[in-house]
Structure 1
Amino acid sequence: MMQHWIGRRVIVDRMDGHKDPVQGILLKWDDEAQLVVVGAKRIKIPFAQIARIHALPEDAHGRGKRKARSSLHSVGYIMRQPLQFDNAIYFRSAVTIWKGPKLIAYRAVVTSHDETYVELENGQKFEKDLYTFVVRSRRGQR
């Protein structure tokens, strides 16, 4: 059981002949199916093909882009502008919520927001300054 890796940014080195390691957020660790699911493209890697999993350093996921209008994130775009939150509410967009490298909520639906807080469909409130809100996107697909 390696559930502590879920929600963390990792690099997965493979033994299956692929030269490039897979880098991204570990979304699922499935003991029953004997595989992990990594990254926005949801790459499935069987346990038998994993040589090593190691965490990416916290600064490896673009913390320096904090002031950018809408920075890229591995699963979409980081929401910073009030209009982005308004659009997420209007379109009922799937939003992931992060605290540093840790995944806090997956596919959350935002129901309201103000200058300080964001409220989810289930009533949870998150402070905008303490959490990163990422709206899911289909960038790169045509």
Structure 2
Amino acid sequence: MIFTSREKEVLKSLYQAGEPVTMSYIAKTVGVSARTVKKDIKNIKEQIDESKVEVKTKRGMGVWLEINDNQYLKSTILDTRDVINPVSPSDRQYWIIKQLLNLEEMTSIEELASELFVSKSTVVKDLIEV
């Protein structure tokens, strides 16, 4: 089970709320649209171990977590080692560092941008920060 950094942010927002919240609330917290949050929640539901944590949705009430194993949820949210499709600048920078350290040959900014699904200028900015 590997979540994107945005899906982890959605989970963190739900965990911190501690009660049913609207998609709009999560969208504002994460910085995306409510439609994107709905997609992320669908992906989370497909991947998460429902015996330990369940994502509940109910029309008119909102979205909330039913937690049976708090440690499982915390390790899921806090684990940043296997981030796929890094979205935030810090996640991208971590990913770039990891990639560069593991490469045995040269790579180009274009290749990094293609793997990250971002522009070359975004990769350059991240490299400057790194």
Same fold (TM over 0.5): no
Which of the pair is proportionally richer in strand? Answer: 1
TM range (shorter): under 0.3
Instruction: Give the structure with the larger helix fraction.
Output: 2
TM-score of the pair, normalised by structure 2: 0.27
* TM-score normalized with structure 1 length: 0.26
